A and B are shown apart, each in its own frame.
Chain A
């Protein structure tokens, strides 16, 4: 049980620890992480910022002070070098909700209204671009206004309870309307990290010779198209739409999938 959920448990621990540190910063005066996922003050000494949020800010025409730019560059380089969308599966709190939606959908065998396909998965890149264009036109960071991720964490960190509505919408959207709807099709933050994570060093490696073609990995994968090499060739998962969530590694009983750094 634990063996087959090793990475899942690790991811949840990391996600919830970060969220907990933010809550502590807001309610108990801890200074480890203050603020939220848009921008955080770490140990009272330096800033880490969401690069897509800062990019929208720049597109509105506002030139911020250097702190937030440095913070965004640090975060951008971290994810670009290490693992692109590891933000999505190891840090983003909304991932817990959308994972739960796909878990529920599979358990209850719910057929979504629209089936995720190759072109629907492209929508997120348009949302990302549109977010920047609209930021310029309307003079306000466009995605940050409707961002359900921030509604979730503001709800938890600052105890609104109001972000709950947005979270339920995303949950039901993923459950009933479009499978893997938010993270796999719409979210521009994931799209941003997909683009910037092309050269990442942490990738899932597939060993064809060990593979028994049980296809358990394809059942659990939220970005199923990235697993095209399963059973066909030995090598790494190339697509940067892979979130490195490692669910495939967890469920593989044949030692055919594992994480590999660099080569």
Chain B
């Protein structure tokens, strides 16, 4: 074999090895990445108090479990591979054990990464920063009026009385029961701006499967979007004044007629 031939074979080998290596990395990366995407879970978890938003939380949590260890009620658990959650991250199921709203919030200051944000639970009182568990937003309680027996006319205020922010987070709305003509409905109403998502209501609910459920805020709340404005609210109205001009294409006819023009519907 001449010197030149030797060089070309070794160069060929080097290129082949390089592509082979790249292939292995791509194979591994795609499989691993696919699993990662899968393992992010269904975002249905209730996180400990002070948890930052879910997409940031799964980046920030180092899965050390100290918050779980210091929880005096064993409310917090670490997700096992059996849960549809990022494995090793803390969560709680209020129907099993709700958050009892410790005033010293032991689970939050121990977080080493800031996944549980102590600032979000602090208020300034007399120039001193103190903890306030009532600022937490772990989730939002949602009542189902079909399964809540208070909506049937049966008197039950279990959730209302279990709520640590009684009359603020859950209040009772009275309404005449037309069916009997002489009784009242005592309906629980959750106020999203106050509800902390502790889940004590869900824990207390008397139905077989709770009629009041604590869901992650992003799922329970919905979102209006930018193009609805409360015209009667001065601050909200300001958004309209601040908004940028939308370019008018001048075709007002089609805008008015588009519902009458049904041709497209029958074309197919």
Q: Do A and B come from one complex?
A: yes
Report A-chain residues with C-beta under 8 Å of the C-beta of B210. Answer: none
Q: Is A93 an interface residue (CB 8 A)?
A: no
Report B-chain residues with C-beta under 8 Å of the C-beta of A38. Answer: 62-64, 88
How many Å from the CB of B151 to the closest CB on chain A? 40
How many Å from the CB of B100 to the closest CB on chain A? 18
How many Å from the CB of B243 to the closest CB on chain A? 31
Question: CB-CB contacts of B13-57 with A at 8 A, as 1s and 0s?
Answer: 000000001001100110011011101100000000000000110
Q: Is B81 an interface residue (CB 8 A)?
A: yes
Q: Is the CB of B32 within 8 A of A144?
A: no
Chain A residue, CB-CB nearest to B80: A162
Quick one: which of A144-196 are within 8 Å of B by CB? 144-146, 150-151, 154, 157-158, 160, 162, 165
Q: Is A34 an interface residue (CB 8 A)?
A: yes
Q: Given the interface contacts A47-B112, A139-B55, A154-B78, does A145 sit within 8 Å of B87 by beta carbon?
A: yes
Report A-chain residues with C-beta under 8 Å of the C-beta of B78. Answer: 154, 158, 160
Please measure, in the bound complex, the distance between the C-alpha atom of A61 and the C-alpha atom of B61, giving whole angstroms. Answer: 13
Q: Is B82 an interface residue (CB 8 A)?
A: yes
How many Å from the CB of B159 to the closest CB on chain A? 31
Q: Is B153 an interface residue (CB 8 A)?
A: no
Report B-chain residues with C-beta under 8 Å of the C-beta of A62. Answer: 56, 59-60, 113
Q: Is the CB of B59 within 8 A of A158?
A: no
Tell me which of B37, B62, B70, B82 has the highest count of chain A C-beta atoms within 10 A of its own C-beta: B62
Chain B residue, CB-CB nearest to A137: B33
**Which of A106-114, A127-135, A201-209 lies at the interface with chain B?**
A127-135
How many Å from the CB of A39 to the closest CB on chain B? 4
Q: Is A98 an interface residue (CB 8 A)?
A: no
A binding-site residues for B, Cβ under 8 Å? 25-26, 34-36, 38-41, 47, 49-50, 53-54, 57, 60-62, 64-65, 67-68, 71, 126-127, 130, 133-134, 137-142, 144-146, 150-151, 154, 157-158, 160, 162, 165
Interface size on B, residues (CB 8 A): 37
Q: Is B58 an interface residue (CB 8 A)?
A: yes
How many Å from the CB of A94 to the closest CB on chain B? 16
How many Å from the CB of B236 to the closest CB on chain A? 33
Q: Is B121 an interface residue (CB 8 A)?
A: no
How many Å from the CB of B84 to the closest CB on chain A? 14
How many Å from the CB of A141 to the closest CB on chain B? 7
Report A-chain residues with C-beta under 8 Å of the C-beta of B35. Answer: 145-146
Q: Is the CB of A49 within 8 A of B86?
A: no
Q: Is the CB of B112 within 8 A of A142?
A: no
Q: Is the CB of B80 within 8 A of A160?
A: yes
Query: Given A25-B69, A64-B113, A140-B86, list of 10 further CB < 8 A pairs?
Result: A38-B88, A39-B112, A57-B113, A126-B21, A139-B58, A142-B32, A150-B88, A154-B63, A154-B65, A162-B80
Question: CB-CB contacts of B74-108 with A at 8 A, as 1s and 0s?
Answer: 00001011100011100000000000000000000
How many Å from the CB of A53 to the closest CB on chain B? 6
A64 touches which one: B58, B110, B114 (CB < 8 A)?
Answer: B114
The 6 closest A-B pairs by CB, nearest first: A65-B114, A39-B64, A35-B64, A62-B59, A60-B59, A64-B113
Please measure, in the bound complex, the distance between the C-alpha atom of A151 and the C-alpha atom of B59, giving whole angstroms. Answer: 18
Report A-chain residues with C-beta under 8 Å of the C-beta of B21. Answer: 126
Tell me which of A68, A151, A165 has the highest count of chain B C-beta atoms within 10 A of its own C-beta: A68
Q: Is the CB of A26 within 8 A of B69?
A: yes
Please measure, in the bound complex, the distance between the C-alpha atom of A133 and the C-alpha atom of B36, giving whole angstroms. Answer: 12
Question: CB-CB contacts of B199-220 with A at 8 A, as 1s and 0s?
Answer: 0000000000000000000000
Please measure, in the bound complex, the distance between the C-alpha atom of A175 and the C-alpha atom of B46, giving whole angstroms. Answer: 41
B binding-site residues for A, Cβ under 8 Å? 21, 24-25, 28-29, 32-33, 35-37, 39-40, 55-56, 58-60, 62-66, 68-70, 78, 80-82, 86-88, 110, 112-115
How many Å from the CB of B200 to the closest CB on chain A? 25
Report A-chain residues with C-beta under 8 Å of the C-beta of B37. Answer: 138
B33 touches which one: A54, A134, A151 (CB < 8 A)?
Answer: A134
Q: Is the CB of B59 within 8 A of A34?
A: no
A130 touches which one: B29, B81, B113 (CB < 8 A)?
Answer: B29
Report B-chain residues with C-beta under 8 Å of the C-beta of A26. Answer: 65, 69
Q: Is the CB of B62 within 8 A of A142?
A: no
Report A-chain residues with C-beta under 8 Å of the C-beta of B63. Answer: 36, 38-39, 144, 150, 154
How many Å from the CB of B31 to the closest CB on chain A? 10
Q: Is the CB of B59 within 8 A of A130?
A: no
Report A-chain residues with C-beta under 8 Å of the C-beta of B64. Answer: 35-36, 38-41, 49
Q: Given the interface contacts A126-B25, A140-B36, does A68 sit within 8 Å of B62 by beta carbon?
A: yes
Tell me which of B32, B64, B68, B88 has the highest count of chain A C-beta atoms within 10 A of its own C-beta: B64
Report B-chain residues with C-beta under 8 Å of the C-beta of A160. Answer: 78, 80
Q: Is the CB of A35 within 8 A of B69?
A: yes
Q: Is the CB of B66 within 8 A of A41?
A: yes
Q: What are 8 of the A-B contact pairs (CB < 8 Å)?
A: A25-B69, A38-B64, A39-B64, A64-B113, A65-B112, A68-B112, A140-B86, A154-B65
